[in-house]
Amino acid sequence: MTLLSATGLDASLGNRKVLRDVSLSLAAGHLVALVGPNGAGKTTLLRALAGLIPSDGEIRIGGDALASLALRERAKRFAYLPQGHMVHWPLPARDIVALGRYPHGATDPARLSPRDMEAVLRAMQAVDVTAFSDRRVTELSGGERSRVALARVLAVEAPVILADEPTASLDPRHQIDVMQKLRNVADTGVLVIVVTHDLGLAARFADHVLVLSEGRLAAQGAPDAALSESVLASVFRVSAYRAEFQREAVIVPWADV
């Protein structure tokens, strides 16, 4: 069943048109990978879907038009993880995760209701960060910090999670861990949209792949269909080595040099 849909979506940054006529329809419980070359408009699409930037066209979330929802209500439906896991002040990890309850009216991490506190704890347990809940985020390693950021997003308990390159700058093990965590979340009925440059991770973990090229959807569908030989050649200008390992799809992009 469709949870999030967009029809004829256009968006501009300044005078430059970044998204052109994007239409999609995504179901709850799916992990959707959003891929595309640099500058294709992936981040812009994510922001437009969450209503963080103005766009033309219609976006519907859970039966409501996004435009009709107040900021607070949008915040409860979309959990948004920006690129880079930016944290500007050295707050303890727990306080950062607790910000996930902000849309639910819990604006003070020291005064959470039992319900909010349970949500925070659940989120921290799901990504295994309870051990450093008192440590300052700025003192954590990149992998730990990305998990705290992920916990913050999970704590919102929103029906849609939008994650912008959550695996960027992580080592291979942490990349796989993060994708697996997102996969687990999707399996609980959440729609998870992940921007990634790693076609291998997309092929392995996603149910559905959106391929964005110059602001248009060049392909979408199941990973092997959306990441077909012709799409990779025309959109990414690469070919790929394809295989199966432990009964999962493997794609390694390849370009002759």
Q: What are the backbone angles phi and psi of residue 112, rounded to the nearest 5°? A: -90, 145
Contacts for 36-43: CB closer than 8 Å, 24+ residues apart: 36/211, 36/212, 36/213, 36/218, 36/235, 37/213, 37/235, 37/236, 40/212, 40/213, 40/214, 40/215, 41/11, 41/212, 41/214, 41/215, 42/164, 42/195, 42/212, 43/83, 43/164, 43/195
Calculate ∠ Cα 126-193-141, nearest 5°.
50
Query: Of 156 and 211, which CB lies nearer to other proteins in the complex structure?
Result: 156
Query: Of 126 and 238, which CB lies nearer to other proteins in the complex structure?
Result: 126
CB of 114 to other proteins, least distance (A): 7
Query: Of 74 and 204, which CB lies nearer to other proteins in the complex structure?
Result: 74
Give CA 144 to chain center in angstroms: 18
CB of 121 to other proteins, least distance (A): 6
CB of 153 to other proteins, least distance (A): 9
Give CA 192 to chain center in angstroms: 6
Query: Of 90 and 172, which CB lies nearer to other proteins in the complex structure?
Result: 90
Q: How far apart are the first and last CA of the chain?
A: 44
Spatial distance between the Cα atoms of 46 and 34, rounded to a whole number of angstroms: 9
Query: Of 13 and 255, which CB lies nearer to other proteins in the complex structure?
Result: 13
List contacts with other proteins (CB under 8 A). Answer: 47, 50, 52, 71-72, 74-76, 78-82, 86-92, 94-96, 99-100, 102-103, 107-110, 112, 114, 117-118, 120-121, 124-125, 130, 133-134, 152, 156
CA atoms within 13 A on the CB side of 159: 12
CB of 91 to other proteins, least distance (A): 6
CB of 79 to other proteins, least distance (A): 7
CB of 38 to other proteins, least distance (A): 19
Query: Of 36 and 103, which CB lies nearer to other proteins in the complex structure?
Result: 103
